[in-house]
Amino acid sequence: MQKQLIEVYTDGASRGNPGLSGAGIYIKKGNQQYEYTFPLGEISNHEAEFLAVIKALEICKESFPDQILSVRSDSRTVIDIIEKNFTKNGQFLPFLETIQEYIEIFPYAFFKWIPEKQNKHADMLAKKAIKMN
């Protein structure tokens, strides 16, 4: 099977910090588009952002194994930690370790910070997920 670039947009949102939270994931594969919402209960905004990336990688493992991933998030904290492959924050370390395990599954996985205005679709899905709690 020919490898294809899968565009993955993730966003986590919290109403309060911590507060009711949700993850939104928007995936583009060629002309196909996929939307996912995950209510996350009461957690911090950073935790919601990390969990959005993890949920996206879970989905890609099931639906798009062996494909090339371009994961985009408007969370500088999350992207910086993934790119540096390091965090001093003990609260974020388990998230990073889980993400590292998923990254190994794919031939290529790129992570990119994008401005909020380029992530509106995932943001809308994350806010929708908050209401599902």
Q: What CATH number has the domain bearing residue 62?
A: 3.30.420.10
Nearest Cα residue to 121 out of 7, 32, 6, 11 = 11
Q: Into how many domains does the chain fold?
A: 1
The CA-based dihedral angle spanning residues 120, 131, 46, 69, taken in that order and rounded to the nearest 10 degrees = -50
Q: What is the pLDDT of residue 3?
A: 87
Full residue range of the structural domain in which residue 89 is found: 5-131
What stretches in the chain show pLDDT beneath 50? Answer: none
State phi, psi for 119 to the nearest 5 degrees: -125, 25
- pTM beyond 0.75: the answer is yes
Q: What is the pLDDT of residue 2?
A: 80
Q: CA 46, CA 53: separation in Å to the nearest integer?
A: 11
The answer to whether the CB of 97 falls within 8 A of the CB of 91 is no
